[in-house]
Structures are given as structure tokens and as C-alpha cells.
Amino acid sequence: MPVTYTDQEAILTATVAIEEAETLLAWLKEHGQGSVNVQGCQHLHTAVLQVLLALRPPLGEPPTDPFLKEHVWPLLQSDGEMAG
């Protein structure tokens, strides 16, 4: 199970496939204050990435995956950096 949901947190691990996009979106909508833990995530499908970029949930620790940490993490952190 690449995504584990608790009351406050959605924990993304390993490779998060497209199937999770809808569930994650629903969970985030339901848990307005819920945060997403991407620390153990190795790769996330574009659809899942989209959800994170669109909803901007609070995130915990940076991911350990070097690519995600170097290139994606700053993007998820910064607000308004997205070009329109």
C-alpha cells in the first residue's frame, strides 16, 4: 500500500501510482488540515503530483529520494512560484 491514511496524515511511500490520485484528492478535501508525508516516497505519478501542486497541503519532512528532494521539494514548498 503506497499510501497510508491516518486522521491527520497521508503517508506516501515507495512509488505512488495513478490509482492513488483520486483517493488522495478525496482525503485532502475531507481533511482540510491534513498533511502529507512524502518522506519515504520514491516516485509519484504525474496525477498525484498534480494533486499536491494544486492543493498545496502542508508537508512534513523533505523526501529522501534525491531527485524529489532536489527538484520537486522546492516546488512544493514555495507558494506562488508556479507560473500561470
Partner 1 sequence: MNPLFVMFMTEARDLLEEISKGLLDLETKPGDIPTMNGIFRALHTLKGSSGLFEPDLDSVRRVAHAGEDLLDAVRNGRLAFTSEMADPLLDSLDAVGHWLEEMNDHGAVSAEADADSHAMAAILRNFLHQKATDNATQESDAKVAPKAYLPAPSWLTRLPERLQTLIQTRGEETLDTLVAVYYTPDPQCFFTGDDPFYLIRQIPQLVAFHVETSTPWPPADQLDPFVCAVRFLVVTETPREEIAKLFRYVEEQTEITLFNPVAPAMHPEPVAKPVTAKPVAGEEAMVLRIVQAQQEILTLPCPPAEWEYRLLPMEQLLRALFTRRNLPQLLEALHPVMAEVRATLSFAPLRTLLASLIQDFSGSEASPSPVVAPSPGAKGVAGSRERESDADSPAEAAVYKRRAEDTSQKDKTLRIDQNRIDQLLDLVGELVVAKNSVPFLAQRADRHYGVKPLAREILEFFGVINRLTDELQSSIMQVRLMPVSTIFDRFPRLVRDISRKLDKKINLEMEGGTTAADKNIVEMLSDPLIHLVRNSLDHGIELPAVRVAAGKDPHGEIKLIACQQSDRVVIEIHDNGKGIDPEIIKKKAYEKGIITEDQLESLSDHEAIQLIFVAGFSTAEQISDLSGRGVGMDVVRSAVEHVGGSVVVFSTLGEGSRVRLELPMTMAISRVMLIEQSDSLFGVPLSMVAETVRIPRSVVQTIKDREVIVLRGKILPLVRLRERLQLGPEPVDSTQRELAVLVVNPAGEEIGLVVDNFQKGVDIVIKPLEGILSALSVYSGGALLGDGRVLLVLNLKELI
Binding site for partner 1 (CB under 8 A): 18, 21-22, 24-25, 28-29, 43-51, 53-55, 67, 71-72, 74-75, 78, 81-84
CB of 46 or CB of 64, closer to partner 1: 46
Phi, psi of 28 (to 5 degrees): -65, -35
Nine-digit cell at 2?
503506497
Number of neighbours of residue 28 by Cβ within 10 angstroms: 20
Least distance from partner 1 to the Cβ atom of residue 81, Å: 5
- Smallest gap from residue 4 Cβ to partner 1 (A): 19
Nearest-angstrom CA–CA distance, 83 and 12: 26
